[in-house]
């Protein structure tokens, strides 16, 4: 079974999106998790036509299944 990194992004007056990406290994490096968070923030800002500094990053989680419920997006 594949395992994923997940993190929800939100901002005022927008719908939160939970981003997910397949992990390259069971314990990802800080570089890999940081790149995932940055890519999710950039995508959320572009999708909502806002500045990246307006994006609120939720709690990062690794070793998760594919998120369900709410709006999700694989990045």
pLDDT digits (tens, 9 = 90+) for 14-55: 999 999 999 988 899 999 999 999 999 999 999 999 999 999
Per-residue pLDDT, 54: 97
Q: Where are the beta strands (DSSP E) in 1-75?
A: 4-10, 17-22, 56-57, 61-64, 71-74
Q: Please write the tens of the pLDDT for every residue from 59-68.
A: 999 999 999 9
Better-predicted residue by pLDDT, 26 or 5: 5
Rounded to whole angstroms, how far apart are CA atoms 33 and 1?
Answer: 20
Per the structure, the count of domains in the chain is: 1
Q: Provide the domain limits for residue 49.
A: 4-74
Q: Residue 18: which of 32, 33, 5, 3 has the closest Cα? A: 5
Per-residue pLDDT, 24: 87
Per-residue pLDDT, 31: 96
Are the C-beta atoms of 3 and 63 separated by less than 8 Å? yes
**Whether the predicted pLDDT of 1 surpasses 70:** no
């Amino acid at each position: 079974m594949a395992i994923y990194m997940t993190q929800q992004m939100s901002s005022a007056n927008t719908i939160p999106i939970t981003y997910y990406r397949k992990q390259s290994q069971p314990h990802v490096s800080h570089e890999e998790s940081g790149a995932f968070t940055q890519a999710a923030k950039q995508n959320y800002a572009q999708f909502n036509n806002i500045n990246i500094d307006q994006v609120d990053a939720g709690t990062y989680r690794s070793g998760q299944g594919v998120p369900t419920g709410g709006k999700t997006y694989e990045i």
